[in-house]
Amino acid sequence: MKFFRIVIGPPLLSGAAAGQPSDPGARPGERGFTMLELVCVLALLALIMGLVMPGLSRAWKRERDRASLRQLAIALRTARSEAATRRQRVRLFLDLKNGQYRLEGSKQQGELSGMRLTEASLVWQDPFKRNGYIAFYADGCSSGGKLTLIDTAGRRHLLKVEVITGKVGLKAEEG
């Protein structure tokens, strides 16, 4: 069986300075990879990628879910800050059916992607508890609220707004 060599670039050393070639059938000074070596390396790379990619995909989804929760917490903290700065009530509206929220006076909407709501305690705008809000007031207090959400991995997250201080807390629950 005859092997073909793929030569990448010119040989660095030639003649006697190159020493003995690793393949006895190769001419002195000839360097490169056989097709078999190249196919083996590509097969190993494909195997490694096949093992690594599912883990990376799960990690990416988990981080996307966490980022979505952090964005909601940031929006709530922004509402609290705006209420204190403007010295007036500011609300964050939540559409639980569609998993969206928006700050009062803003057209930009946030989205709770990858999250499932299991429990909510808000000021409700409709009797079916699909739309509600959390209000923040100029003196630092709030209407309070609590959202319990489950991410795609099954982890529970609790987002809580204190009534007296208006403090926004986000934590992952165990179990």
Q: Which residues contact 83 (CB under 8 A, 6 or more apart)?
A: 89, 90, 136, 137, 138, 166
What are the counts of helices (DSSP H) followed by strands (DSSP E) for the chain? 1, 11
N- to C-terminal Cα separation, the chain: 62
pLDDT, residue 125, reads 83
DSSP-assigned states of every residue in 101-115: EEETT---EEE-TT-
pTM over 0.75, yes/no:
no
Reply yes or no on whether the pLDDT at 26 is more than 70.
Answer: no
Reply yes or no on whether the pLDDT at 10 is more than 80.
Answer: no
For the ranges 21-35, 57-71, 135-149, 157-171, the lowest mean pLDDT is seen at 21-35
Reply yes or no on whether the pLDDT at 80 is more than 80.
Answer: yes
Are the C-beta atoms of 61 and 152 separated by less than 8 Å?
A: yes
- Going by pLDDT thresholds of 50, 70 and 90, the confidence category of residue 16 is very low
Query: Per the CATH hierarchy, to which homologous superfamily does domain 47-173 belong?
Result: minor pseudopilin epsh domain (3.55.40.10)
Tokens of 98: 């569609």
pLDDT averaged over every residue in the chain? 83
Q: Nearest to residue 88, comparing CAs of 145, 132, 135, 146?
A: 135
Q: Nearest to residue 168, comparing CAs of 52, 90, 100, 106?
A: 90
pLDDT, residue 58, reads 82
Averaged pLDDT for residues 9-17? 51
Reply yes or no on whether the pLDDT at 22 is more than 60.
Answer: no
pLDDT tens-digit readout, 106-157 = 888 898 888 888 888 889 888 888 889 999 999 989 999 999 988 888 889 9
Q: Nearest to residue 78, comparing CAs of 159, 152, 166, 175?
A: 166
Reply yes or no on whether the pLDDT at 6 is more than 80.
Answer: no
